[in-house]
């Protein structure tokens, strides 16, 4: 085995080990207690009445190991055994039925919730490993072994990726869908054979089944084909027939895959109930003709699989426009901020990564302007089209980053850096490409261009110096990530003041997603606490984990005494009188600001002892 392959194997092993060990004592977060139970219901009941807002593939994969366990299914749960009620005013909101069923399956049916969560997270970790492998494979194929190693190192010690590849959520799977489908798109583009078309079509279908944000890949790939068709001059008609026609065939294959998967998932979901549920969920959807079409589609025997897929897509569109109440930079609001994702990226990504990405961007612009040179005014268009034609991988990656970030910036759904995870593999790949090129000294600095010992020594010494700089930054990242284990979700870089200060900037899935209730239980038991007042943001009922202390509720706006445990999301994001929006000074917990926590459980639950 080549030495670089051994390094890649060790990096992926380290990634998997960090993910596996850090998730072991995480309780189910707010979304996991919906996704994993839903996936188990899909596999065992062939009925996707739960959580249609997300495609089923990731939930199915997470639930597969649960088939090895003895699990009691709560058939009488109000989240499952819902009546056929056509009147929206008499119906329970869909998200409430998802939550109710999830809680009933995990916590109120005699099942081992923690064991179920541990089993369910393993397939997501394996998806993360698979994505890391493709980052290594693609960057190595495109550029060099060094580029592959640097890109894989970025990925393997990314606290953002590590935080989410160990959870039963769709974010890392969506990143894998974007990157791996682009890999096969690129190979089909370079060699448009029937085999590559079929492989790309099947992979693309699976990608579209991970998360509805992957729907963006359809216009992204379609636009990329059109652009590359225009820049290929004389072969234009060949490209139109071969590539645009081929992409239509790819979409047919992909949606056949989707139809097959969704057909299984609605097999025991009665057509009558599906149609009524669809009408209820879309009763507030803005564009009625599309909602009515979806309702009709859901009532057709052969097409209702597509109806359920479209329902989920429309739910995501509706939620993205509506937003979600959260805390951000001193304000609590449901209105999205255009600065949200740039800011959370700059404080959640390791500072060395940001420095290297900015330097790589500088090198890229330097190369671009150097290529155009004095011909910028007269020949800029022909030179630019030549760059697109000669660098399809780089231009394709940049296009995906641009479109995805544009979509995120215009969305009102600002609840976590996780929503831009699909762009990170492309950022790591492009950064590694420029950094490795810089380490080697560029295309002109080849050994064959030099003669004499001192000239060759100088060339290698320059490479060693540059390599040491990059290695220093990567080691800096490594230790900053290792020191926060197992609380990767709470990682904030030095710009934000580290994980202890993260709650001052953002909360929710950036820091506190309800993952630390088991660790809080251990703290309470260890310190012999007999009574605790709790106000926490969690997917798990506190009483399921905390057995040794009495749990009390209270009015959060009134100062309290005794032991108090408050989640960071609520501490920063709860308004007085539930008035939304509100400013930081209008929070319910302004009275608590004068006290210092005894400890912070996983940086997400603040524990006080107030005399």
pLDDT band with cut points at 50, 70 and 90 for residue 320: confident
The confidence score (pLDDT) of residue 371 equals: 61
pLDDT band with cut points at 50, 70 and 90 for residue 81: confident
Q: Which of 485, 603, 607 is nearest to 549 (CA)?
A: 607
The confidence score (pLDDT) of residue 88 equals: 58
Distance, CA of 255 to CA of 208 (rounded, Å): 9
Q: With H, G, I as helix, E, B as strand and everything else as coil, classify residue 579.
A: coil
Distance, CA of 190 to CA of 183 (rounded, Å): 11
Q: Which of 251, 339, 265, 263 is nearest to 303 (CA)?
A: 263
Q: What is the pLDDT of residues 267-291, one digit of tens each?
A: 999 998 899 889 888 988 888 999 9
Burial of 242 (0-12, 13-18, 19+ CB in 10 A): middle
Return the top range by mean pLDDT from 120-129, 185-194, 322-331, 411-420.
Answer: 120-129
Q: Taking residues 331-357, report their average pLDDT.
A: 93
Tokens of 599: 């400890």
Q: With H, G, I as helix, E, B as strand and everything else as coil, classify residue 566.
A: strand
**Residues recorded for the chain:** 611
The confidence score (pLDDT) of residue 344 equals: 96
Q: Read out DSSP for 246-299?
A: HHHHHHHHHHHHHHHHHHHHTTTS-HHHHHHHHHHHGGG-S-HHHHHHHHHHHT
Tokens of 65: 């190991």
Residue 471 has pLDDT above 70, yes or no: yes
Q: With H, G, I as helix, E, B as strand and everything else as coil, classify residue 480.
A: helix
| Residue showing tokens 């065939």 | 249
Task: Name the DSSP letter for residue 226.
Answer: H
Portion of the chain with pLDDT greater than 90, in percent: 70
Q: Taking residues 436-450, report their average pLDDT.
A: 67
Distance, CA of 401 to CA of 420 (rounded, Å): 9
Q: With H, G, I as helix, E, B as strand and everything else as coil, classify residue 87.
A: coil
Q: Structure pTM?
A: 0.92
Residue 90 has pLDDT above 80, yes or no: no
Distance, CA of 108 to CA of 17 (rounded, Å): 31
Task: Name the DSSP letter for residue 56.
Answer: S
Mean pLDDT estimate for the chain: 89
pLDDT band with cut points at 50, 70 and 90 for residue 84: low
Q: Which helix (DSSP H) or strand (DSSP E) does residue 333 occupy? A: strand 331-333
Q: Taking residues 545-554, report their average pLDDT.
A: 93
Residues 6+ apart with CB under 8 A from 303: 297
Instruction: Tell me the CA distances in angstroms from 251 to 31, 212, 248, 300, one per residue in order.
Output: 30, 15, 5, 22
Residue 196 has pLDDT above 80, yes or no: yes
Q: What is the pLDDT of residues 485-498, one digit of tens each?
A: 999 999 999 999 99
């Amino acid at each position: 085995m080549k030495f670089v392959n051994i390094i890649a194997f060790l990096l992926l092993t380290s990634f998997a080990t960090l993910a596996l060990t850090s998730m072991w004592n995480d309780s189910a977060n707010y979304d996991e207690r919906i996704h994993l139970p839903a996936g188990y219901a899909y596999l065992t009941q062939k009925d996707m009445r739960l959580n249609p807002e997300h495609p089923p593939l990731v939930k199915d994969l997470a639930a597969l190991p649960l088939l090895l366990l003895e699990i009691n299914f709560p058939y009488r749960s109000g989240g499952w055994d819902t009546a056929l009620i056509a009147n929206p005013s008499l119906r329970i909101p869909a998200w409430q039925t998802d939550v109710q069923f999830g809680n009933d399956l995990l916590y109120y049916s005699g099942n081992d919730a923690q064991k179920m969560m541990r089993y369910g997270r393993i397939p997501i970790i394996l998806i993360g490993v698979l994505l890391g492998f493709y980052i290594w494979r693609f960057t190595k194929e495109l550029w060099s072994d060094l580029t592959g190693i640097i890109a894989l190192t970025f990925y393997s010690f990314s606290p953002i990726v590590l935080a989410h590849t160990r959870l039963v959520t769709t974010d890392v799977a969506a990143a894998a869908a974007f990157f791996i489908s682009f890999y096969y798109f690129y190979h089909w583009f370079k060699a448009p054979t029937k085999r590559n078309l079929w492989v790309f079509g099947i992979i693309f279908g699976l990608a579209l089944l991970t998360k509805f944000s992957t729907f963006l890949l359809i216009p992204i790939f379609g636009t990329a084909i059109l652009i590359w068709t225009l820049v290929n001059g004389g072969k234009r008609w060949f490209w139109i027939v071969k590539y645009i026609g081929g992409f239509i065939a790819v979409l047919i294959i992909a949606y056949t895959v989707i139809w097959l998967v969704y057909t299984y998932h609605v097999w025991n979901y009665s057509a009558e109930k599906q149609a009524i549920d669809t009408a209820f969920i879309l009763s507030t959807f803005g564009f009625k003709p599309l909602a009515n079409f979806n309702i009709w589609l859901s009532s057709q025997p052969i097409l209702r699989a597509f109806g359920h897929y479209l329902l989920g897509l429309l739910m995501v569109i509706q939620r993205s426009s509506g937003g979600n109440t959260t805390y951000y930079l001193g304000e609590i609001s449901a209105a999205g901020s255009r600065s949200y994702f740039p800011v959370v990226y700059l404080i959640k990504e390791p500072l060395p990564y940001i420095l290297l990405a900015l330097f790589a961007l500088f090198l890229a612009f330097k190369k671009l302007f150097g290529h155009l040179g004095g011909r910028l005014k007269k020949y800029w268009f022909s030179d630019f089209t030549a760059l697109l034609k000669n660098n399809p991988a780089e231009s394709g990656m940049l296009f995906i980053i641009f479109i995805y970030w544009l979509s995120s910036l215009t969305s009102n759904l600002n609840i976590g850096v996780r929503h831009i995870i699909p762009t990170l593999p492309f950022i790591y790949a492009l950064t590694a490409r420029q950094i490795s090129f810089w380490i080697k000294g560029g295309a002109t600095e080849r050994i064959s261009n030099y003669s004499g010992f001192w000239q060759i020594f100088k060339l290698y010494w320059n490479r060693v110096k540059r390599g040491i700089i990059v290695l220093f930054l990567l080691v800096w990242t490594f230790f900053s990530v290792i020191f926060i284990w197992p609380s990767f979700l709470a990682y904030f870089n030095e710009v934000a003041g580290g994980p202890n200060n993260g709650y001052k900037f953002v909360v929710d899935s950036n820091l506190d997603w309800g993952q630390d209730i088991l660790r809080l239980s251990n703290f309470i038991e260890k310190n012999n606490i007999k009574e605790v007042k709790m106000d926490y943001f969690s997917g798990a009922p506190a009483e399921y984990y905390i057995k040794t202390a009495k749990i009390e509720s209270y009015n959060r706006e009134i100062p309290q005494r005794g032991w108090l445990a408050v989640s960071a999301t609520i501490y920063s994001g709860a308004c007085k009188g539930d008035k939304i929006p509100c400013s930081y000074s209008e929070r319910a917990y302004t009275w608590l600001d004068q006290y210092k926590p005894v400890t912070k459980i996983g940086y997400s639950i603040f524990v006080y002892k107030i005399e």
